[in-house]
Structure formats: structure tokens, C-alpha cells
């Protein structure tokens, strides 16, 4: 009986350790995805940004009294490709990324820049985290 309890405890401990490592790995991958997204935007690197987007990507923009707008992934990539690097001072090309929650194959993250805040939903597909949706509040 003691051996069975010990074996069960060891299995439980191993399982908890594996789950914690998976969350840590996923958190780092989500952080990298969001960082590649924003740095791809800053650099005007459409390919880098496109690699972070889910095929069903949709962005909602909230900006003061302007009616809410939506941008698809294709529109986002086309705009980055057409405009090139973001027209802003290098000191404004900063970001703070926070992974808010991970639940299985979905996650939420927050991206804060000097001029806007993005709340993101990501999905893990084929072992890669992709940005599914963004709600962006633009600072005035």
C-alpha cells in the first residue's frame, strides 16, 4: 500500500511539473508571438507580422468618438506592406507585453505601446500560437 501511494504521489508530482513547464513554454511562445507582431509593424516587415496572425484574424479599433472600425488580417498585412516602417520616433517604438491567461489552446495577452493598448486573443494551432483577435484602444 505504501508503494502504491508513493507511486501515485510521484506521478501526480511529475504531472504537475509537466503542466507548469508547458505553461511556462506557452507563455514564452505567446510573448514571442506578440513581440514579433508589434516589431513587424514597427519595422514595416509584413512577412514577420503575417507569421503571427491566425487565418481568421480580426482587429477592432476604438478611438475616441470615431465609430469603431474593423481590420482583417489581409488588410493589416497589405497596409504594413504598402506603408513600410511605422512613421514614428524610435523612442515611441516600444512595447510591454503581458500574458494574461492561458487555458488549453487559447490565451489572452495585453500589448501596451506609447500610443495604444491592444487586448489580444490567441489560439494554439499546430504547435504555434497565432493572434486571433485584437481590440485596440488608441490614445488621444
> What pTM was computed for the model?
0.83
3-state secondary structure of 132: strand
The whole domain housing 78 covers: 29-138
The verdict on residue 21 lying in a domain is no
**Within a domain: residue 19?**
no
Alpha helices in 2-137 (DSSP H): 2-43, 46-50, 73-83
Q: Output the pLDDT for position 118.
A: 98
Residue 3 lies in a domain: no
Residues 82-119 as b/e (b if ≥16 CB within 10 A, e otherwise) read eeeebeeeeeebebebebeebeeeebbbebebeeeebe
DSSP state of 115: S
For residue 99, the domain's CATH number is 3.10.450.50
**7 or 109, which is more confident:** 109
Our count of domains for the chain comes to: 1
CA contacts within 13 A on the Cβ side of 52? 26
Whether 17 maps to a domain, the answer reads no
pLDDT tens digits, residue range 2-25? 666 655 554 545 555 555 556 789
Digit-coded pLDDT (tens) for 28-54: 999 999 999 999 999 999 999 999 999
Amino acid at each position: 500500500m505504501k508503494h502504491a501511494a508513493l507511486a501515485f504521489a510521484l506521478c501526480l508530482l511529475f504531472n504537475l511539473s509537466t503542466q507548469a513547464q508547458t505553461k511556462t513554454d506557452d507563455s514564452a511562445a505567446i510573448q514571442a508571438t506578440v513581440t514579433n507582431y508589434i516589431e513587424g509593424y514597427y519595422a514595416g516587415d509584413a512577412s514577420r507580422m503575417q507569421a503571427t496572425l491566425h487565418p481568421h484574424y480580426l482587429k477592432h479599433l476604438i478611438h475616441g468618438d470615431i465609430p469603431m472600425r474593423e481590420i482583417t488580417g489581409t488588410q493589416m498585412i497589405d497596409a504594413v506592406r504598402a506603408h513600410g516602417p511605422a512613421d514614428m520616433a524610435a523612442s515611441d517604438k516600444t512595447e510591454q507585453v503581458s500574458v494574461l491567461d492561458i487555458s488549453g489552446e487559447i490565451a489572452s495577452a495585453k500589448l501596451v505601446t506609447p500610443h495604444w493598448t491592444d487586448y489580444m486573443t490567441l489560439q494554439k494551432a499546430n504547435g504555434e500560437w497565432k493572434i486571433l483577435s485584437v481590440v485596440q484602444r488608441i490614445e488621444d
